[in-house]
Chain A
Amino acid sequence: MRRALLFITEHRRTVSLFMTLFLSVSMMLLGESSKTHFARAVSTAVFNTGRFTFSWGIYILDLWHENKRLRLQNLELSDQINYSNTAIRENERLRRLLGFRQHLSMKDSVIVATIVGRDVDRIVNTLIVNVGERDGVKKNMAVVTAEGLVGKVYENYRSSSSVQILTDVNSRVSAYVENTDILGIVSWRGGTNLMMYGLLRQKIPKKGERVYTTGVGGVFPPGLLIGTVEERSDSGIELYASVYVKPAVDFSQIQEVFILKGSERSEVWDDGEGTGVFKRPETQ
């Protein structure tokens, strides 16, 4: 073995030559298909190695560009998804409004308004809508959405109006509980819920029962949904009972409202005691 290694070292040139010649002749003696297969395997390996060696920089640059492009595309797609979701929500809301308007069967006596602002005061709860006197809006007109009663027109200007909503501290609405003769006054006493007070102790509404406007006073047409009874709010020793009412309208989410024409004949007057005394409708 050692002698062989010594021989190879001494005659390395001749050995190298014969080794390469042997390999060359062996390749020549391969069959046609074997030659093709072998050459294809070698060329594939060589070209893949070469491509990897020389193109990794280009590959990384391509990846960087692709990454940048995909990020931008991702941003655009996210934007489109947001836009689509907004459009879907708007579509649903407008469909509900349209359905409600048809339900009212009073197309000529409804003014569609968009909310353009909200009162920043923490006590006074009003909305600013984009319709005013020139659109036929008058004070004390009832304001509703497809979900239910919102409030009434509090102030009207030439091209905008202020709407007093049910969660305003000065708001009072005469109401009744569905399928009963329970009457009361709905107002806001803080928190997220309304309160229906002035109820006879013998007639306490149950949780989940719906509360509607009576129409007494003429500001609000009868039968407009105000909300649903939540729970009793009095301690049980007062002369009159009261219950919490969850508003049908989510006042923080509304964007469009309907102003009901012909509902401005009179306004509710609060005597401060919660008994609900109504002014006689004014003659026009």
Chain B
Amino acid sequence: MKTIKNILLIALALLIQSSILGRFDIYGIRPDFGMMVLLYIANTSSSVESILYGFMIGFLQDVYSPEYLGFNALTMSIIGYLLGFVSERITTEKLPARIIVTLFACLLHDMLYLILYSHLDLTLLSNLFILTGLAGAVYTTVLSVLLITLWEWAENGGLFVIVNELLGSRR
């Protein structure tokens, strides 16, 4: 059940990324929905699962742009490994910790990707990192923290709690 849910989430994230991502565009900066799903999966799964799901997400992202095949698969596998490692040692339920971990993961992903993309051309690497990496990481962090918090709140009965409270106050 959990596996099906994770696969459906990955499919949904990639569907959004490949279809209506333009609606989330702010000055050319776009969030990484694949990264958001990986962050959520890393919170709820083991580190091995995080690596495999990371690889799967990255690989499916690479399929969209075959010339860079393997770039996202490699970086997302590493991020999955690190997120799994972190989630086994520290709790990310508190908001500051979640923000720091998310931002760190996004920046590291972009850094690794751009290293592979630029073939260690430091000028290109720094330009791209400043122009897209930093802003994109912040955007992804804000959106993912918001969405993951909402998701977990709804998943843990938040909606039911509100409905019950509303019904109770009427009585």
Residues of A at under 8 Å CB distance from B? 12-13, 16-17, 20-21, 23-30, 32, 35-36, 38-40, 42-43, 46, 50
Contact B47 A13 (CB under 8 A): yes
Given the contacts A20-B52, A46-B63, A26 and B11 also touching, CB distance less than 8 Å: no
- A9 CB to nearest B CB, Å: 11
Are B48 and A36 neighbours in the complex by a CB distance under 8 Å?
A: no
Residues from chain B with Cβ under 8 Å of A27 in the complex: 59, 62, 69-70, 73
A25 touches B74 (CB 8 A): yes
Q: How far is the CA of A25 from the CA of B112 in the complex (A)?
A: 13
Tell me the complex Cα distance, A274–B135, Å: 119
Whether the pair A38, B60 counts as a contact (CB closer than 8 A) is: no
Question: Could you tell me the distance between the alpha carbons of A16 and B80 in the complex, rounded to whole angstroms?
Answer: 11
Contact B69 A38 (CB under 8 A): yes
Which residue of A28, A30, A46 is within 8 Å of B71 (Cβ)? A28
Q: B66 in the interface, Cβ–Cβ < 8 Å? A: yes
Complex formed: what's the CA distance from A49 to B78 in Å?
Answer: 27
Check A17 against B71 for contact (C-beta < 8 Å): no
Which chain A positions have C-beta within 8 A of B34? none
**Nearest Cβ in chain B — how far from A212, in angstroms?**
86
In the bound assembly, the distance between CA atoms of A35 and B65 in angstroms comes to: 9
From B48, B52, B64, B66, residue with most partner A Cβ within 10 Å: B66
B residues less than 8 Å from A43 (CB atoms)? 63-64
Contact B69 A13 (CB under 8 A): no
For A12, what are the chain B residues with a Cβ–Cβ distance below 8 Å? 48
Contact residues of B between 93 and 113, Cβ < 8 Å to A: none
Contact check, B55 vs A24: say whether CB atoms are below 8 A apart.
yes
What is the CA–CA distance of A16 and B81 in the complex, to the nearest angstrom? 9
**Is B51's beta carbon under 8 Å from chain A?**
yes
Q: Give chain A residues whose Cβ lies under 8 Å from the Cβ of B62.
A: 27, 39
How far is A12 from B51 in the complex, measured between Cα atoms in Å? 11
Task: Report 5 cross-chain contacts, Cβ distance below 8 Å, ordered by A residue.
Answer: A16-B81, A17-B78, A20-B74, A24-B58, A42-B63
Q: How far is the CA of A269 from the CA of B84 in the complex (A)?
A: 118
Listed residue (A21, A24, A39) with the most chain B CB atoms within 10 angstroms of its CB: A24
Q: B155 on the interface (CB 8 Å rule)? A: no
Interface centre among A17, A23, A27 (most CB of B within 10 A): A17
Q: How far is the CA of A263 from the CA of B116 in the complex (A)?
A: 111
Cβ-defined partner of A28 (8 Å) among B74, B78, B84: B74
Nearest chain B CB to A67 CB, angstrom units: 30
Q: How far is the CB of A119 from chain B (nearest CB, A)?
A: 77
**B84–A13 contact, CB under 8 A?**
yes
Cβ-based interface call for B54 (8 A): yes
Q: Are B11 and A39 in contact (CB under 8 A)?
A: no
- Chain B residue nearest to A49 (CB atoms) is B11
Cross-interface CB contact of A24 among B63, B77, B85, cutoff 8 Å? B77
Say whether, besides A12-B48, A24-B58, A36 and B74 are in contact (CB < 8 Å).
no
Is B60 within 8 A of A20, CB to CB? no
Residues of B within 8 A of A42 (CB): 59, 63
Kindly provide the distance from the CB of A27 to the nearest chain B CB, expressed in whole angstroms.
Answer: 3
Give me 17 other A-B pairs in contact (C-beta within 8 A), A16-B48, A20-B51, A24-B55 excluded.
A13-B84, A13-B85, A16-B81, A17-B81, A20-B73, A24-B71, A24-B73, A24-B77, A25-B74, A27-B59, A27-B70, A35-B69, A38-B69, A40-B66, A42-B63, A43-B63, A46-B60
B55 touches A20 (CB 8 A): yes
